[in-house]
Amino acid sequence: MLRDREYKESHRNNLIKFAQNLQQSNPLILSEFVFEKIQNMTSSNVDIVFISDFRRKTEQLVFEQRFGQKNVITLRINASDNVRAARGWRYDHIKDTRYTECELDDKMDWNLVFNNDGSPQNVTRWIQNDLFHYCQTIL
């Protein structure tokens, strides 16, 4: 899924429909699944859990209600459209304007922001210098 954009895009619509169908009967079903996984990990002395790819504001709110706002650290990863295009992304008005793609775009109160327009070395440097440091300050 990290490198095969064509494969990922060919399944995006079905994945979205699948998640929407699950959430019709229980809007929190996906969050509850993650809660269960976190509960299993916390019995193993885990201090920090990274949950990737929140797509909705309600997901963040549910986690803040469950774990406390100060315990939910939000990270935004940005990349310019030019860089995304160079990595294989192509704008699609139907796909790219869905709430699953843009509901969090107007959120401004991220704890950390990473601009992913550079090389893999920039990612590594940011993780080592910024993310690790931030995590140490909250423990």
Segments of the chain with pLDDT less than 50: 1
Instruction: Please give the helix or strand (H or E) that residue 124 lies within, else none.
Output: helix 120-126
CA distance 107 to 47: 26
Task: State the DSSP H helix or E strand holding residue 112, giving kind and residue range, or none if neither.
Answer: strand 112-115
Query: What is the domain extent for residue 54?
Result: 5-138
CA distances from 115 to 59, 81, 119 (A): 23, 12, 11
Q: For the chain, what is the domain count?
A: 1
The whole-number pLDDT of residue 125 equals 93
Q: What's the pLDDT score for residue 103?
A: 92
Q: Would you state the pLDDT for residue 94? A: 87
Rg (CA), the chain: 17
Q: CATH number, domain at 121?
A: 3.40.50.300
pLDDT digit string, tens, across residues 37-77: 888 886 777 778 888 888 888 888 898 998 888 888 899 99
